[in-house]
Amino acid sequence: MNDKQLVSQALAAVLDNALSIDDISNLLETPKKSEMGDLAFPAFSLAKTLRKAPQMIAADIAEKISSDGFEKVVATGPYVNFFLDKSATATAVLSEILSEGTAYATLEQTGENVAIDMSSPNIAKPFSIGHLRSTVIGDALAKIYQKIGYNPVKINHLGDWGKQFGMLIVAYKKYGNEAAIRQNPISELLKLYVQINAEAADDPTVDIEARDWFLKLENGDAEALALWQWFRDESLVEFDRIYTELGVEFDSMNGEAFYNDKMDEIIDILSEKGLLTESEGATVVELEGFENPALIKKSDGATLYITRDLAAALYRKRTYKFAKSLYVVGQEQSGHFKQLKAVLKKMDYDWSDDIYHVPFGLVTKEGKKLSTRKGNVILLEPTLHEAVKRAQAQIDAKNPDLPNKGAVAHAVGVGAIKFYDLKNERLNGYDFNLEEMVSFEGETGPYVQYAHARIQSILRKADFQPDAVVGKTLALTDDESWEIIKLLQAFPDIIARAARTFEPSAIAKYAINLAQAFNKYYAHTRILDENAEKDARLALAYATGIVLKESLRLLGVDAPEEM
């Protein structure tokens, strides 16, 4: 039983059903100062029901509460402040983690699927830092949902269809060199894409020509399809190499092109339900409360993103029978997903309520927006290699005799980039700074990894065996160990909050706080000294190491045993 459950049950026992246990739990607060207690219950919500001043209600509750599990319970103004029994709580929390190991806070499988649309880079364009956010946020959410009992289905909805391929075909036919592309596919295709977009800015006929080629592609033109397939195949070779570097895998690589033969059914359903109307030659669905209708087909008959996304949503519901369907896509697409849900709702699909857009902010460089079209990008693969190189240099300086230095440097360098992205709240963008990311100091991935590695070193020196202390009283009552115990106890709630809010940053920030709390404890406590608390101190170190490792795993970051 965690601290919130303990306090909630104690309060429910004296409130005579005035509030449910869930309501009580939701009202509980953590005091800003530890001397005010570990949890506080505000009595304001009961004032109207009980017709008493909150201060009087708080005093009455404090007097009636059983002292079981608490050092003391006191009323402070309108709050009831609970001070947990440190010794009992430390023993309970540490014993649970020692017994369960990395399974701590794992829930049983529900059997329900969560579809996660993530990564989704555009074919024939290099994989840039801009694609990193969707990839690592989606991967972390998959691991978090698996931890709380769901079955994640990771879908890489590749950008392998659309007018940009018409644009690229035009560019290839105008300036392309087959030999150069075969030798260096992605960089050559990027040059073509940038060149044709620059030309299109001054010449509107380029855009018309690109639309014509995309229409040919949709209609199965042999030349258009052959070029598209070639561009796609070359791109996937590079993408697979980068996903391997990141340690990210997918359950489905069905991109936009996969739904090309599934859109007719969507249009038929919309037509049968009388939802289609014509507007300026285009086919649309009118939506109440929206400035513009949902554009289903352009006047030339070409389909749009929303047509394919409607087909994808229906396919995913039929195939995966999802309990939730998440779209980890930049916040600039929020209008699109509102329209998508609104159209599905008009099609009488109530499961549209289970679709969630998980938006995120932009990555900038020196405050400037990145753009593939303008050739202003930070390529991910060389960036990963540079991060590993920098991590290697720091390891060489700090621990030149470290075994498996290459593998550790890779875990630290790649982990640093992923962690830095995930520690930022999704909707906040951030400015890319590789030096800051790979630093072993500050609120970084390497800092958390180093705290974990330090703990493993302590445990090796002590030859600590967790089974040997299970069942013992592991009483720790000093303030610094108590801060760690409270953080360890909070881990299940942090995971639940990260899942509920689609916010992996909750776990990244938690990991930083836990690493900082342990480092503070380590600086002031001689863990390996022979004394009455030695077993408890080592158990605390072991439990902290377990939870740091699991926190990093949920973020897709490795935790080396040595650094």
Express each pLDDT in 35-91 by its tens digit: 899 999 999 989 988 899 999 999 999 999 988 889 999 999 999 999 999 999 999
Mean pLDDT of the chain: 93
- To the nearest 10°, report the CA torsion of 131, 135, 141, 147: -160
CB count within 10 Å of CB 301 equals 11
Report how far residue 539's alpha carbon sits from residue 469's, in angstroms, rounded to the nearest whole number. 8
**Chain segment 311-353, per-residue pLDDT in tens:** 999 999 999 999 999 999 999 999 999 999 999 999 999 999 9
Quickly state the pLDDT bin for 375 (edges 50, 70, 90).
low
Backbone angles phi, psi at 10, to 5 degrees: -65, -40
In the CATH scheme, what is the code of domain 3-84? Answer: 3.30.1360.70
- Cα–Cα distance between 293 and 286 in angstroms, integer? 5
Which pLDDT belongs to residue 549?
98
Long-range contacts of 525-531 (CB under 8 A, 24+ apart): 525/478, 525/480, 525/481, 527/458, 527/462, 528/458, 528/461, 528/462
Amino acid at 352: S
Report the CATH fold assignment for 380-554.
Isoleucyl-tRNA Synthetase; Domain 1 (1.10.730)
- What would the pLDDT profile of 76-103 be if each residue is shown by its tens digit? 999 999 999 999 999 999 999 999 999 9
**With 80 as the cut, is the pLDDT of residue 300 above it?**
no
pLDDT at 301 over 80: no
Query: Which residues of the chain are in CATH 1.10.730.10 domains?
Result: 380-554
Per-residue pLDDT tens over the stretch 446-466: 999 999 999 999 999 999 999
**pLDDT given at position 372:** 65
Buried b (16+ CB within 10 A) or exposed e, 154-187: bbbbbbbbbbbbbbbbbbbeeebeeeebeeebbe
Tell me: the pLDDT tens digits for 123-180? 888 888 889 999 999 999 999 999 999 999 999 999 998 888 999 999 999 999 999 9
CA dihedral 466, 470, 472, 478 (to 10 degrees): 60
Residues 217-243 pLDDT 10s: 988 999 999 999 999 998 898 899 999
pLDDT of residue 373: 62
CATH 3.40.50.620 intervals, the chain: 113-365
Indicate the fold that domain 113-365 takes in CATH. Rossmann fold (3.40.50)
Lowest mean pLDDT among 191-195, 316-320, 382-386, 554-558: 191-195
Provide the pLDDT for residue 18: 85
Q: Round to whole Å and give the CA distance between 562 and 404.
A: 9
Give the tens place of pLDDT for each residue, 408-441. 999 999 999 999 999 999 999 999 999 999 999 9
Mean pLDDT calculated for residue range 389-402: 94
CA torsion angle 185 188 194 195 (round to 10) = -140
- Flag whether pLDDT at 376 surpasses 80: no
499-527: average pLDDT: 97
Whole-number pLDDT of residue 187: 85
Average pLDDT over every residue of 193-214: 92
Q: What is the DSSP letter of 122?
A: B
Q: What is the C-alpha separation between 496 and 149, in angstroms, rounded?
A: 11
CA 80, 84, 85: angle at the middle one, nearest 5?
140
Please report the sign of the dihedral spanned by the C-alpha atoms of residue 306, residue 311, residue 314, residue 319.
Answer: negative
**Intervals of CATH 3.30.1360.70 along the chain:** 3-84
C-alpha to C-alpha distances, 545 to 29, 95, 454, 456, nearest whole angstrom: 27, 14, 9, 7
Whether 374 shows a pLDDT value over 70: the answer reads: no
